[in-house]
Amino acid sequence: MTVRAHIPRHAQHTPVGKIVRSTSLAWLWQSLTAAVVLAVLTSAAAWVVHLEQEAATRLRAQVALETLDAKVGGLRYLPQALAYGSTPPKTTILLEQGLRRTAASESATLADLSPSLGVPIRTVTDQLSNAAAQEITMASRGQIKQAGTFDFQTVTPLYTKFTNMSAHAEPILRSLASSSDTSSLIWVWVTVLSTGLLLVLILAGFERSRRERLRTATEREALRGSEERFRALVQNSTDVITVVNQYGVVLFQAPSVRSVLGYDPAAMVGASLSEIVHPGDLFRFQALCESGSHEGQDIRLRHANGTWLACEARGTNLRNHREVRGVVLNIRDVSERKNLENELRHQAFHDSLTGLANGALFRDRVEHALARQRRTGGPLAVLLVDLDDFKTINDSLGHDGGDHVLCQVASRLRSAVRASDTVARLGGDEFAILLEDSARGNGPSRAAERTLARLAPPVRVNGRSLIVSASIGAAIANKGRPGGEELLRNADVAMYAAKAQGKGRWAQFEPGMNVAVAERLELRADLVDALTAGNQMELYYQPVVDLETRKVTLVEALLRWHHPKRGLVPPLEFLPLAEECGLIVPLGRWVLRQALTQVAAWRRESSSLAELAVSVNVSGRQLEDAGFASEVRDALAASGLDDPAALILEITETTLMREAEETITRLGELKAIGTRLAIDDFGTGYSSLGYLQHFPVDLLKIDRSFVAGLAGGPRQAALAEAVVKIGASLELQTVAEGVEMEEQVGQLRALACGYGQGFLFAEPLPAQGFEAQFAGESTMAPAMAVTLP
């Protein structure tokens, strides 16, 4: 079956049939009209000729009658003229012969032309001629009397008979002639009119057929157009158009199958389409071939290259159609749409950054697993994995770096568990693992340990190596209990417990753990109360001394919380909470104002502290605040401290490493006010040292781990020395933190470190204690420091 043969037959009910029929009708009409016209014209012409001839004959008959009248009249009187001697005999005979001849011929003519009239006239004429001739003979012989008698007895009656006949014939001939004139005129008119009518008919016929032809041509053109369009549609359609019988055997195949599925259309005809239908879709496909349902069915078809193509097939049952006799399948490649759908579905249930399942999918999987477990038994476990200090990592690396770390963590988590287990990212730096098959026995603990081990190797980001640790909480469900929400909450509680135990470890949920988490939440609420109550927070002051002169030149303000029930809470316990909930911003504002007011008072009141500077710790959250610089300016103004350089703002190295545009802007603003900047905990950030040149820093505070390291093994000491030396090499003032032993002072001085802070000199003291100890004395003897409580 070819497309060309196929289409016109399809179009039986289309104008083609009509065109063919109307064309043959037009021809029949035309030829009939032509035949009739020809016949009418011919017969009309023949009739006219006939009439003309008849008229001419009648005219001749009339003329002949008149001539005959004259000649017969002559013959009648010729013997008398001879008798009376008016004409000589010789002339008379000659005349008589001429007259006789003419009369004979005219009467013959008359007889020929009008037999009804002619025959007796001829007879009478002949008799009269003979009688006249006889009389003439008698007269010429001088037998006048006899002639007279003869004339009286024979010629005159004959002549009378003739004139009677002639008189009778004449009106007949005349009326005949005139009647023939009228009828010929009528006939001429009839002919003209009918010819005209026929001509009109013919012209109308021609016009009709011309229009018909035109219409036919237009329709044929239109049909050809639509046929070509149809063919083009079928041939160029992106849909595969296939006609199959109820068993799926191809009866017709449009060429588009080549571009869509890669098959030769001709080779498809006669083959079973089922052979390239995905086994999973075979049932639906067969139903489609049988019913020809117009509803789109998702069916996968094997491409010639062996891959499966997602298609949508619709059927149209034309089994009763004379020409089609099958189900027309419209098959469309919907792989792009499917991919998009899959993509969207994937997006709805997956984390876009790591490609892991998201919270929604994870919860769904947990619910399904619990439902399964209720039927089949067997434990399942959830591990909640929370990265330690990810905020710091994120801050120091920027978002791209943070994202990179999260992706690395995601792939390590995936590698730590079985393929049948679900790994999800619940949000931020929180991941979750659902253990189904591996939750028996010590499965969960092994999975948790394996996960920690996988996370242990440093992650490479932007050329740096980072240690990423995580705290893991594990919770187990048995026989579907507890339910999904509670299971996740338990894992969360366990995770907090692991964090509280010191991070980088895992803990399994135990009922008592809830208490710890509740405590944490309680502490947070207490912190809010503390800020509103106003008298629970206090600043302690720890001196920073010049290592050479032992003079106190600087004091660091350190925050303390007197909890109404718990007593003194160390800053490292509540500050992360304050940071988490944003309370650090108002708290930091209070610290700044409090410290400046205190130091301004000491500078005013104590000569030994007249040049005392104060360093205040600033958290990353405070620096993010666009109004921070003006806050500092206001606090300076409010304190009455005239020298802005007397304020040193301590920013930890990790906060600085955020490299955010706003950090640099903020530092510039602070420098513009005239305050000094210090890098706190120097050496512990995840930094290369190049950044030091970018920031307008005045002071380096060497982290106490390096100071402690000076007394350690040779490698540790070398590293500590290198870090301490950096300050000097950059011509920055260097403060060593955590100086606890006298010998450290010597070592630090040897490394050109100018200042020290630590228990060796003084522990952080409340304002009054500091005042009591240092307001009158600005130089500390080492012995005195050591004796400090």
The one of Ca ion, ligand C2E, none whose footprint includes residue 575, by CB under 5 to 8 A per kind, is ligand C2E
Q: Out of 72, 764, 770, 773, which residue is the one contacting ligand C2E (CB under 6 A)?
A: 764
Binding segment for ligand C2E (CB under 6 A), chosen from 45-53, 137-145, 377-385, 756-764, is 756-764
The one of ligand C2E, Ca ion, none whose footprint includes residue 570, by CB under 5 to 8 A per kind, is ligand C2E
Binding segment for Ca ion (CB under 5 A), chosen from 175-183, 401-409, 506-514, 645-653, is 645-653
* Cβ distance to Ca ion smaller for residue 133 or 700: 700
Residue 543 has which token pair?
Answer: 């001196």
Binding segment for Ca ion (CB under 5 A), chosen from 137-145, 486-494, 679-687, 767-775, is 679-687
Site string for ligand C2E, 549-588 (x = CB under 6 A): ---------xx----------xxx--x------------x
Q: What are phi and psi of 751, to 5 degrees?
A: -95, 15
Distance (Å, whole) CA 775 – CA 767:
10
Q: Out of 492, 681, 721, 771, which residue is the one contacting Ca ion (CB under 5 A)?
A: 681
Q: What are phi and psi of 491, to 5 degrees?
A: -65, -35
Per-position b or e across 429-465, b if 16+ CB within 10 A of its CB? bbbbbbbbebbeeebbeebbeebbebbeeebebeeee
Taking a C-beta distance cutoff of 8 angstroms, is the pair 677, 667 a contact? yes
Q: How far is the CB of 383 from Ca ion (least distance, A)?
A: 34
680 binds Ca ion (CB under 5 A): yes
The one of ligand C2E, Ca ion, none whose footprint includes residue 721, by CB under 5 to 8 A per kind, is none
The one of ligand C2E, Ca ion, none whose footprint includes residue 619, by CB under 5 to 8 A per kind, is ligand C2E
Binding segment for Ca ion (CB under 5 A), chosen from 175-183, 296-304, 525-533, 733-741, is 733-741
Number of Cβ within a 10 Å radius of residue 592 = 26
Distance (Å, whole) CA 779 – CA 782:
9
Binding segment for ligand C2E (CB under 6 A), chosen from 291-299, 597-605, 717-725, 733-741, is 733-741
- Going by C-alpha positions, the residue among 9, 13, 16, 14 that lies closest to residue 324 is 9
758 binds ligand C2E (CB under 6 A): yes
Q: How far is the CB of 727 from ligand C2E (least distance, A)?
A: 16
Site string for ligand C2E, 695-724 (x = CB under 6 A): ---------x--------------------
* Cβ distance to Ca ion smaller for residue 239 or 737: 737
Q: How far is the CB of 645 from ligand C2E (least distance, A)?
A: 20
* Cβ distance to ligand C2E smaller for residue 496 or 682: 682
Q: How far is the CB of 713 from ligand C2E (least distance, A)?
A: 20
The one of Ca ion, ligand C2E, none whose footprint includes residue 591, by CB under 5 to 8 A per kind, is ligand C2E
398 binds ligand C2E (CB under 6 A): no
Quickly list DSSP for 671-739: HHHT-EEEEEEET-SS--GGGGGTS---EEEE-HHHHHHTTS-HHHHHHHHHHHHHHHHTT-EEEES--
* Cβ distance to ligand C2E smaller for residue 448 or 583: 583
* Cβ distance to ligand C2E smaller for residue 401 or 764: 764
Q: How far is the CB of 486 from ligand C2E (least distance, A)?
A: 36
Q: How far is the CB of 763 from ligand C2E (least distance, A)?
A: 7
562 Cβ partners below 8 Å, 6+ apart?
536, 537, 538, 568, 569
Give the interface size with ligand C2E as a residue count (CB under 6 A). 21
Quickly list DSSP for 77-95: HHHHHHHTTSS-HHHHHHH
Distance (Å, whole) CA 553 – CA 473:
47
Binding segment for ligand C2E (CB under 6 A), chosen from 262-270, 464-472, 714-722, 752-760, is 752-760
475 Cβ partners below 8 Å, 6+ apart?
381, 382, 384, 487, 488, 490, 491, 493, 494, 508, 509
The one of Ca ion, ligand C2E, none whose footprint includes residue 326, by CB under 5 to 8 A per kind, is none
* Cβ distance to Ca ion smaller for residue 473 or 758: 758
Site string for ligand C2E, 526-545 (x = CB under 6 A): ----------------x---
Distance (Å, whole) CA 659 – CA 467:
19
Q: Check residue 357 and report its DSSP letter.
A: B
Q: How far is the CB of 727 from Ca ion (least distance, A)?
A: 14
Q: How far is the CB of 556 from ligand C2E (least distance, A)?
A: 6
Taking a C-beta distance cutoff of 8 angstroms, is the pair 385, 424 a contact? no
756 binds ligand C2E (CB under 6 A): no
* Cβ distance to ligand C2E smaller for residue 327 or 618: 618
619 binds ligand C2E (CB under 6 A): yes
Binding segment for Ca ion (CB under 5 A), chosen from 220-228, 289-297, 368-376, 644-652, is 644-652
Q: How far is the CB of 573 from Ca ion (least distance, A)?
A: 16
Cα 768 → chain centroid? 74
Binding segment for ligand C2E (CB under 6 A), chosen from 105-113, 447-455, 501-509, 751-759, is 751-759
Q: What are phi and psi of 701, to 5 degrees?
A: -110, 105
Number of Cβ within a 10 Å radius of residue 360 = 13
Binding segment for Ca ion (CB under 5 A), chosen from 100-108, 158-166, 221-229, 672-680, is 672-680
Residue 619 has which token pair?
Answer: 């958290």
Indicate the residue type of 618: V
Q: Out of 738, 741, 769, 777, which residue is the one contacting ligand C2E (CB under 6 A)?
A: 738
* Cβ distance to ligand C2E smaller for residue 115 or 570: 570
The one of ligand C2E, Ca ion, none whose footprint includes residue 550, by CB under 5 to 8 A per kind, is none
Distance (Å, whole) CA 127 – CA 157:
11
Return the biggest CA–CA distance within the chain.
223
Q: What are phi and psi of 478, to 5 degrees?
A: -125, 135
* Cβ distance to ligand C2E smaller for residue 558 or 647: 558
The one of ligand C2E, Ca ion, none whose footprint includes residue 764, by CB under 5 to 8 A per kind, is ligand C2E
Three-class SS of 537-590? EEEEEEEEEECCCCEEEEEEEEEEEEECCCEEECHHHHHHHHHHHCCHHHHHHH
- The H or E element spanning position 473 is strand 470-477
Taking a C-beta distance cutoff of 8 angstroms, is the pair 705, 671 a contact? no
- By residue count, the chain amounts to 789
- Name the CA dihedral angle for 400, 405, 411, 417, rounded to a multiple of 10 degrees: -150
Q: Out of 351, 388, 650, 721, which residue is the one contacting Ca ion (CB under 5 A)?
A: 650
680 binds ligand C2E (CB under 6 A): yes
Three-class SS of 423-463? EEEEECCEEEEEECCCCCCCHHHHHHHHHHHHHCCCEEECC
Residue 505 has which token pair?
Answer: 């470890």
Interface residues with ligand C2E (CB under 6 A) are 542, 558-559, 570-572, 575, 588, 591, 617, 619, 680-681, 704, 737-738, 740, 757-759, 764
Judged by the rule CB under 5 A, the positions of this chain that interact with Ca ion are 617, 650, 680-681, 737
